[in-house]
Homo-oligomer: A and B are copies of this chain.
C-alpha cells in the first residue's frame, strides 16, 4: 500500500486530486476498483475512464479527465510498470543455502544469496549478493553469476558460463548447451567439442525453455539489457547487441552477429555467419539469409521492407486467378496475332 503522493514521487509525476489516497493495487482499466490505480497510455482508451472505478489514474500531460485523481507524467506505461513493481512485487527473502541444495565446497556463495532445495551447484561456482536460485536449478562447474540475479526453477547453466548482474532466467532455460557442430567422417559424423562459453551481460532476461548454445571456441555473447522470450534458439558463437527484443520461438544460427536495439518478431529466423546492423526490426516469421544493413523494418522470406511484404502477401491468395488470367491473355494475344497476320 502507498499514498498517491508516494507513487507520484516514485515516477516523477504530478498529482491532480487527493494526494493522500491509499492505493493498494494496479489494475487494468476495465477491471480496476476502489483502492486501485490504472493507467491510460493510448488515447483511444480514454473513453473507458467514464466507466472506470479506479481510485486513481496515470495519464500523460495535456489530457484532462475531470473527476479523477490523477498522476500526470510523461510516460504513463513506464510509470505503470514502476508503480506495479513497487506495490506488488515482494522482495525476495534471503534464505542462504537451504537444506536440500547440493553446493560444492569450492563454490563461493554470497551470504545474501538464496539457493532453494533441489539445486545442484558445481565446483568453483561464484554467486553474487542478492541472487536467488529457485528449486531444481543446476549450475555446472566454474560458472560465475553476478548480483541480484534470478534463476527460476530448473534453469541450467553449463560449465564456465558467465552471467552479469540482474540477469533473469525464466524456468527451464538452458545456457551453455553444446553448439551443433559435427565434422563429416565417412558416412557419419564426428562430434566437434564445444569448449567455448556463453556470456550473458547485465540485465539480460531469457524466456522459458529457450536455449543459448556455448561457443565451439571462444564465446556466445548476449549484451546488456537484451530480452529473449520463450522457446528461442541461439546458436554457438552468436553475438547479440544491447537492448534487443526477441519474441518467442525465433532462432539465430551459429556465428551470426546482431547489432544493438534490434527487435525480432516471433518464429523469425536468421541464418548462420551473417551480420545484422543496429536498429533492425524483423517481423514475425521473417527469415534472413544474407547480411542486413542497419535501420530497417523488414519482413518475409526473402526479407523485404515490411510494407512491400504486406503488399506481396496480400497478392498470394490471388496467384491462381492471376495464372488463369495470364493464360486467357495469352490466348487473346495469339488470336490478335493471327488476325493481324491474316490481314
**Could you tell me if A340 and B340 are in contact, using CB atoms closer than 8 angstroms?**
yes
What residues on B are CB-neighbors of A227 within 8 Å? 180, 182, 189
Residues A50-87 near B (CB distance < 8 A): 75, 77-78, 80-82, 84-85
Which one of A2-10, A13-21, A124-132, A205-213 is at the B interface?
A: A205-213
With A134-B138, A312-B320, A313-B302 in contact, is A82–B120 under 8 Å at CB? no
What residues on B are CB-neighbors of A182 within 8 Å? 227, 245
**Could you tell me if B138 and A135 are in contact, using CB atoms closer than 8 angstroms?**
yes
The smallest beta-carbon distance between A90 and chain B, in angstroms, is 10
What residues on B are CB-neighbors of A187 within 8 Å? 242-243, 261
**Could you tell me if B302 and A314 are in contact, using CB atoms closer than 8 angstroms?**
yes
- Is A164 interfacial (CB-CB < 8 Å)? no
- Is A332 interfacial (CB-CB < 8 Å)? yes
- Is A271 interfacial (CB-CB < 8 Å)? yes
- Can you identify 6 A-B contacts, CB atoms within 8 angstroms? A27-B217, A31-B217, A120-B136, A153-B156, A231-B233, A300-B316
What residues on B are CB-neighbors of A309 within 8 Å? 317
What residues on B are CB-neighbors of A47 within 8 Å? none
**Could you tell me if A180 and B248 are in contact, using CB atoms closer than 8 angstroms?**
yes
What residues on B are CB-neighbors of A174 within 8 Å? 170-172, 208-209, 230
Contacts from A to B (Cβ < 8 Å) = 26-28, 31, 75, 77-78, 80-82, 84-85, 88-89, 99-100, 102, 116-120, 134-136, 138, 140, 152-154, 156, 158, 168, 170-172, 174, 177-178, 180, 182-185, 187-193, 195, 203, 205, 207-209, 211, 213, 217-218, 225, 227, 229-231, 233, 235, 242-243, 245, 247-249, 251, 253, 261, 266-267, 269, 271, 284-285, 287, 300-302, 304, 308-309, 311-320, 322-323, 325-326, 329-330, 332-333, 336-337, 339-340
What residues on B are CB-neighbors of A284 within 8 Å? 269, 271, 287
With A138-B153, A177-B230, A332-B333 in contact, is A317–B312 under 8 Å at CB? yes
What residues on B are CB-neighbors of A171 within 8 Å? 138, 156, 158, 174, 177
**Could you tell me if B172 and A153 are in contact, using CB atoms closer than 8 angstroms?**
no
What residues on B are CB-neighbors of A311 within 8 Å? 319-320
Q: Measured between alpha carbons, how far is A304 from B213 in the docked complex, in Å?
A: 31
The smallest beta-carbon distance between A194 and chain B, in angstroms, is 9
What is the chain B residue whose CB lies nearest that of A305? Answer: B317
Can you tell how many copies of this chain the complex includes?
3
**Could you tell me if B245 and A233 are in contact, using CB atoms closer than 8 angstroms?**
no
The smallest beta-carbon distance between A244 and chain B, in angstroms, is 10
What residues on B are CB-neighbors of A100 within 8 Å? 102, 120
Shortest beta-carbon contacts, A-B, top 5: A120-B135, A138-B153, A315-B319, A177-B208, A102-B117
- With contacts A152-B177, A170-B177 known, what are 15 further pairs, Cβ within 8 A? A75-B184, A78-B185, A81-B191, A88-B193, A174-B208, A180-B227, A248-B253, A251-B266, A267-B267, A302-B314, A309-B317, A312-B316, A329-B333, A333-B336, A336-B337
What residues on B are CB-neighbors of A300 within 8 Å? 316-317
**Could you tell me if A78 and B190 are in contact, using CB atoms closer than 8 angstroms?**
yes
**Could you tell me if A233 and B235 are in contact, using CB atoms closer than 8 angstroms?**
no
What residues on B are CB-neighbors of A243 within 8 Å? 187-189
